[in-house]
Amino acid sequence: MAQKVGSKKGAAGHGAESATGARRKGAAEPAAELAAMVPGTVKCPKCGAPQAAAPVTVLRPDDGALGLLFQGTLNLFTCAACGVRFKLEVALLYRDDARRRIVYYVPPEDAPTPAAAEAQVAAILQGCFGGGGAEKPECRLALSRQEFIEKIALLRAGLDDRLVEFIKYQLYLRHEAAMDPRQRQLFYDFSLAGRDDLGFILFDRATGKAQAGAHVPMAAYRELEDAWRSSAELKEEIGRLFPGFHVSAATGFA
Ligand SMILES: [Zn+2]
């Protein structure tokens, strides 16, 4: 059961630190403006009893809450009155200051279309970094929790998500009958991180169930990385494929 709290304002507004108690170095830090906590109470979706709920909205590389996110239990609450478990679906921000990277999850409830989500992220970045002075971090948009987790896992594995999505794009093209991206979606398999293969799991969009695995040798990724560094043409092609914050191979087939 998912319940929506906070709206665009909850994500972009000024607020206290996340429920994990993660450090905050002072409001002058521009990216800190992205930090927000949905304030106050929510109603239990089953019995309507008011609940004090402080969902995590900001995650950093060393946060314990990352483990909850990866397990699918982040922002899961139990109603004190009726005992029902419910998940608060709120916008989530992952910020890795050392790498100057931001990943922003905009839940479908907050943005009716991918274009609306793009505009929302653009507005937030403009609000935080538009004044000049601060160097804009590299930002990505995730339209599902699964995409959000994937982007974080790729960052942590030291992989460039544009190259990984380009590899997915080639897989979709080559196996369009089996991997039609309108019905299925490939996700990076981070459980295989560090091996000689770049692993993917194919999920059915309708059921959310894993259907198959796919592997690409890491050597192929490294080759692509070398080519990307030296070829302006390839850079352009990848830039054309992924023009916005939502870097996803599937969008090319929409
Ligand atoms: Zn309840």
pLDDT in tens, 217-238: 999 999 999 999 999 999 999 9
pLDDT of residue 129: 76
* AA letter at 7: S
61, 151 in Cβ contact below 8 A? Answer: no
Residue 78 Cα to ligand 1 midpoint, Å, equals 8
Write the pLDDT tens digit of every residue in 41-56.
Answer: 888 999 999 888 889 9
Q: Which residues contact 33 (CB under 8 A, 6 or more apart)?
A: 14, 27, 127, 128
The DSSP-derived string for 187-243 is EE-GGGTTSSEEEEEEEETTT--EEEEEEEEHHHHHHHHHHHHH-HHHHHHHHHH--
Residue 83 Cα to ligand 1 midpoint, Å, equals 6
pLDDT of residue 62: 93
Q: What is the pTM of this model?
A: 0.81
Residue 50 Cα to ligand 1 midpoint, Å, equals 8
Residue 77 Cα to ligand 1 midpoint, Å, equals 10
Is the pLDDT reported for residue 121 higher than 60? yes
Write the pLDDT tens digit of every residue in 91-106.
Answer: 999 999 899 999 999 9
Confidence of residue 252 (pLDDT cuts 50, 70, 90): confident
Mean pLDDT of 50-64: 91
Is the pLDDT reported for residue 134 higher than 90? no
Write the pLDDT tens digit of every residue in 151-203.
Answer: 999 999 999 999 999 999 999 999 988 889 899 999 999 887 778 899 999 99
Residue 43 Cα to ligand 1 midpoint, Å, equals 8
Mean pLDDT of 2-29: 36
Helix (H) or strand (E) run with residue 101 in it: strand 101-105
Q: Which two tokens mark 112?
A: 């009716």
Q: Which of 73-77, 82-86, 134-138, 184-188 has the weakest average pLDDT?
A: 134-138
Residue 59 Cα to ligand 1 midpoint, Å, equals 27
Residue 49 Cα to ligand 1 midpoint, Å, equals 6
84, 51 in Cβ contact below 8 A? Answer: no
pLDDT of residue 42: 86
Mean pLDDT of 118-134: 81
140, 158 in Cβ contact below 8 A? Answer: no
Residue 45 Cα to ligand 1 midpoint, Å, equals 7
Is the pLDDT reported for residue 3 higher than 90? no
pLDDT of residue 39: 59
pLDDT of residue 225: 97
Residue 2 Cα to ligand 1 midpoint, Å, equals 13
